[in-house]
Amino acid sequence: TVLVVDFGAQYAQLIARRVRECHVYSEIVPSTMPAEEMLARRPKAIILSGGPASVYAEGAPIAPEGLFDLGVPTFGICYGHQVMAQALGGTVENSDVAEYGGTTVTVSSPGMLFAGLPHEQAVWMSHRDYVSRAPAGFTVTASTDVTPVAGMEDLERGFFGVQFHPEVMHTEQGMELLRRFLYEGAGCRPNWTMVNIADESIAAVREQVGHKRAICALSGGVDSAVAAALVQRAIGDQLTCVFVDHGLLRKGEPEQVEKDFVAVTGVNLHVVEAQDRFLAALDGVTDPEEKRKIIGREFIRVFEEAAREIVAGTSGATPQDGSPEADEPVEFLVQGTLYPDVVESGGGTGAANIKSHHNVGGLPDDLQFKLIEPLRSLFKDEVRALGEQLGLPSEIVWRQPFPGPGLGIRIIGAVTRDRLDILRDADAIAREELTNAGLDRDIWQFPVVLLADVRSVGVQGDGRTYGHPIVLRPVTSEDAMTADWARLPYEVLQRISTRITNEVREINRVTVDITSKPPGTIEWE
Ligand code: XMP
């Protein structure tokens, strides 16, 4: 394990992903974690992330006491570089000149990190404070016009620091520097591969579940599908997948689950028709968080009922008579929770709770299942790779993410059957045109949002209309933590707009959302 110490901001996640791209397992830990606790995780290396603070700011996060005495190779990046310099007796100074964006570092003394690399390298910087004097024992390896110590290392103790961000794409040699630190500086081995991840996860689930039975929330999305496929590999018929048709799904989704997942994996499937129940529970509710909580709560309740039915043998999915697990209660619930969900819901790093994602924050207190979350430490791209490793079809593995609360949080206003039908039709057109344009893999996600409480005047045929606007929200992203609005070709937007206003009753206006994340989130609610 490589521990990425989070000093705030979102740099830590990107660093953790880059480490994993080097096939080395990494985890994010808060900078408030005591050094002994870090040591207890037996890290091969520690990386100190960037952060928004100045080391001189009041309450600025500092390195845990004793961190530099653990004997673990450590790499400080940006703020982490300054923290390292300061803790070991170097000097950090405030500067009037900030250095943001692309710049060039000059390698003065290559050391281990820069050996054999170009003398001048393009790097990405984002800082105001700077290290003016490296601590005793360190060699200064690189500098820029305004930053005398842009790189430093103490090979003897295994300490390395750079002022720039090796984890961002714009730093030319970033990945190479990271690899050198991990492999040469810390002796890590590249054994975090999909084959190993799959094998280890399957073994862990088998161990956790034993002879008990599990049910799985199948949503049709990548995450739940990969989680289910993995658990099925581990425990076979002890798993029953429950597919809740809550009426908040997109067009064709129930059929797709059947065709692309159940048919391929042969998993036990139990379908629950729960449209009326969800609509009743959502009746008149307009607050986004309340919608999420209601949907999450009903979801779990439906599962519990399904589980009881399955156990009571009133469902077709009960294991055959005489099989050892036939009368075991259903004790486990499989969820496709991902690492960013865990981090963003404030689980782990003390990050702010931005939205209660319904598969983490919105669970009811009286939950009756133990959770199996085999993807809890994985990023989205790793889940896709794992899905391919498990043999799932590309229609599932490369599906764009879809939120658990479904179309319920894409209707701004109260959710009704009519509004769902309208949104479903518009959404199907947008998806179809995106696919026709061959852009599915270029776009991270393409929410279509119905502004149900807004009306605007239009003219169609010879008559005045007074209908609803639809918002197209195509975004590009690497991990949903940040996103940019996608520059879809005008022709594609044009086709979507024309078709939606022609084919979907009630819609007389199509708009495009051109907000990045931050400040906007991807979904509107
Ligand atoms: P936001 O809107 O926060 O979304 O930028 C980030 C990503 O998470 C998805 N999302 C959800 N997924 N349950 C989920 O399973 C939820 O409650 C939920 N809310 C948002 C969203 O579609 C995007 O991919």
pLDDT band at 56 (very low <50, low <70, confident <90, very high): confident
Helix, strand and coil in the chain, % to nearest 5 = 35, 20, 45
Give me the percent of the chain exceeding a pLDDT of 90: 72
Distance 341 CA to ligand 1 centre (A): 8
Of all helices (H) and strands (E), which one includes residue 19? helix 11-21
Tally Cβ neighbours within 10 Å of residue 402: 19
Distance 367 CA to ligand 1 centre (A): 22
pLDDT at 344: 64
pLDDT at 312: 74
Contact 264, 292 (CB under 8 A): no
Structure tokens given for 211: 């002879």
Mean pLDDT along residues 446-466: 95
Structure tokens given for 258: 């059947």
Cis peptide upstream of residue 166 (ω within 30 degrees of 0): no
Mean pLDDT along residues 86-105: 91
Q: From CA 482, how far away is CA 479, in angstroms rounded?
A: 7
pLDDT at 324: 46
Mutate to test the pocket of ligand 1, among 523, 524, 525 (most ligand atoms within 8 A of CB): 523
Of all helices (H) and strands (E), which one includes residue 371? strand 370-372
Mean pLDDT along residues 261-282: 94
pLDDT at 9 over 80: no
| pLDDT tens sequence across 295-345 | 989 988 898 888 888 877 655 444 444 454 556 778 898 988 888 878 766
Residues with CB under 6 Å of ligand 1 are 292, 355, 357-359, 401, 403-405, 445, 480, 517, 521-523
ipTM of the complex: 0.98
Mutate to test the pocket of ligand 1, among 337, 355, 384 (most ligand atoms within 8 A of CB): 355
DSSP code per residue over 134-179: PPTTPEEEEE-SS-S-SEEEETTTTEEEESS-TTSTTSTTHHHHHH
Kindly report the average pLDDT of the chain as a whole number: 90
Ligand 1, atom 6: closest residue by C-alpha: 480
Distance 289 CA to ligand 1 centre (A): 12
Ligand 1, atom 22: closest residue by C-alpha: 403
pLDDT band at 353 (very low <50, low <70, confident <90, very high): very low
pLDDT at 327: 62
pLDDT band at 492 (very low <50, low <70, confident <90, very high): very high
Ligand 1, atom 17: closest residue by C-alpha: 357
Give Cβ neighbours of residue 162 (< 8 Å, ≥ 6 apart). Answer: 75, 76, 77, 78, 81, 113, 142, 150, 151, 177
pLDDT at 363 over 90: no
Q: From CA 492, how far away is CA 511, in angstroms rounded?
A: 13
pLDDT band at 15 (very low <50, low <70, confident <90, very high): very high
pLDDT at 314: 53
Mean pLDDT along residues 492-512: 97
Q: Can you tell me which atom of ligand 1 is nearest the CA of 356?
A: 17
| pLDDT tens sequence across 141-190 | 999 998 999 999 999 999 999 999 999 988 999 999 999 999 999 999 99
pLDDT at 522: 97
Q: Can you tell me which atom of ligand 1 is nearest the CA of 358?
A: 17
- Catalytic positions, written as ranges: 78, 165, 167
Distance 329 CA to ligand 1 centre (A): 32
Distance 409 CA to ligand 1 centre (A): 10
Q: Can you tell me which atom of ligand 1 is nearest the CA of 483?
A: 5
Q: Can you tell me which atom of ligand 1 is nearest the CA of 357?
A: 17
pLDDT at 351: 37
Residue type for 388, please?
A: E
Q: Can you tell me which atom of ligand 1 is nearest the CA of 445?
A: 24
Q: From CA 368, how far away is CA 297, in angstroms rounded?
A: 12
Q: From CA 155, how far away is CA 442, in angstroms rounded?
A: 42
184: which DSSP letter? I
| pLDDT tens sequence across 423-434 | 999 999 999 999
Ligand 1, atom 3: closest residue by C-alpha: 521
Distance 180 CA to ligand 1 centre (A): 35
pLDDT greater at residue 90 or residue 461: 90
pLDDT at 350 over 50: no
Of all helices (H) and strands (E), which one includes residue 451? strand 448-451
**pTM of the predicted model as reported, rounded to 2 decimal places:** 0.76
258: which DSSP letter? I
Binding site feature residues for ATP: 219-225
In the chain, what are the domains?
Answer: 2-185 (3.40.50.880), 194-397 (3.40.50.620), 410-512 (3.30.300.10)
What are the strands, taking DSSP E only, across 202-286?
Answer: 213-218, 239-245, 268-273
